[in-house]
Structure 1
Amino acid sequence: MRLTRPMLAAAGAVAVLALAGCGSGDSDAAAKIPTAATGSLESLAAKVKCEPNMQIDSDEVRQAICKTSDGKYVFATFATDRGQREWINDAKDYGGHYLVGRKWVAVGTDKVVKALQTTLGGEEEIGTDHSAHGSSHTG
């Protein structure tokens, strides 16, 4: 079965939301951010002392669930920069916090992403906030 990018992004985002909930963590963690790490999913996971539980292993994307002392998150690596950006853009509709490096992304709570950033570097992106849904519904 061939998985499309939207299906992969949705699977990753749903996994993160199921693992992490919709909470936010410390916003005061102002550690020095290193240069973004590079490498395979396994080498990046090893840097943060995670044994990845592989969920998707295709030519375009490799995705695993990882757990560290800071919490669970989804880790994904991509064959191309374009594939990565399309995955992130689709996944951000589901909310969450995204730590983005060159051809990799880690998705989890704000606390987990900030903790990973101290080791892996990267830039944090935030998905759509759905916490206010239903508050303006009429009829």
Structure 2
Amino acid sequence: MRTAALLGSLALLPLATACTNGKDSTAANAGKAVVSVTAAPAAGVEAPARVEVIANLTGCKVSIRTEADELRVGVCHTKKADYAITTFPEERFKQTWLDTASMYGGKYLVGSRWVISAPENMLKPFRAKLGGTIQQLQGMGPRPSAS
């Protein structure tokens, strides 16, 4: 039964990845680059989109900063650094958040309906525990020119 489900999923993968909404995705994704997609989390699965669960997996006791229909934000204060965990009830809210965050630039750990904003040196260890991808978002302003 599992084998049949896996084969069915794999057969549909090319169809799902080939579909677009008809808009030019190059312009919509300009300034966003996935930095790391190869390392798998230790558990082999991605963390669920729940602030408290993600905080527990990263080893912090979270304080909820924002509770809204579109997102929840929890803040973790640790000896290494402070970081934020943002979860979303739907992927479209996460995408809107990422589009807005791209104005500021930086690297983020991005999962299914969640984002972690943390110092860069913490993203890889978090990714090993939670899954997701590390994304570099381009900020606004002048770019260094190649010499």
Q: Specify the TM-score bucket, using the shorter chain as the normaliser.
A: 0.5 to 0.7
User: Percent identity at matched positions?
Assistant: 28
Greater relative CO (CA pairs within 8 A, separation 6+): 1
Distance 1:45 1:82, change over 3 A: same
| CA offset digits 1:62-90 (Å, max 9, x no partner) | 00211345422111000110001110111
Q: Count how many residue pairs are aligned between Structure 1 and Structure 2.
A: 106
Distance 1:82 1:124, change over 3 A: same
Q: Which of 48, 55, 60 is matched with 1:50 structurally?
A: 60
Could you tell me which amino acid in structure 1 is paired with residue 117 of structure 2?
A: V
5 Å matches for 1:19-34?
32-34=39-41
5 Å matches for 1:32-43?
32-34=39-41, 35-43=45-53
TM-score of the two chains, using structure 1 as the length reference:
0.65
Runs in 1 of length 4+ with deviation above 4 angstroms? 132-136
Distance 1:121 1:133, change over 3 A: same
Question: 2:107 aligned with 1:100, yes or no?
Answer: no
Q: Which has the larger radius of gyration?
A: 2
Q: Is there any run of 5+ residues in structure 1 with no aligned partner, and where?
A: 1-26
TM-score of the two chains, using structure 2 as the length reference:
0.62
Distance 2:102 2:77 in 1: 21
- C-alpha contact (below 8 Å) 2:73/2:86 kept by paired residues: yes
Cα RMSD, aligned residues only: 2.6
- C-alpha contact (below 8 Å) 2:102/2:139 kept by paired residues: no
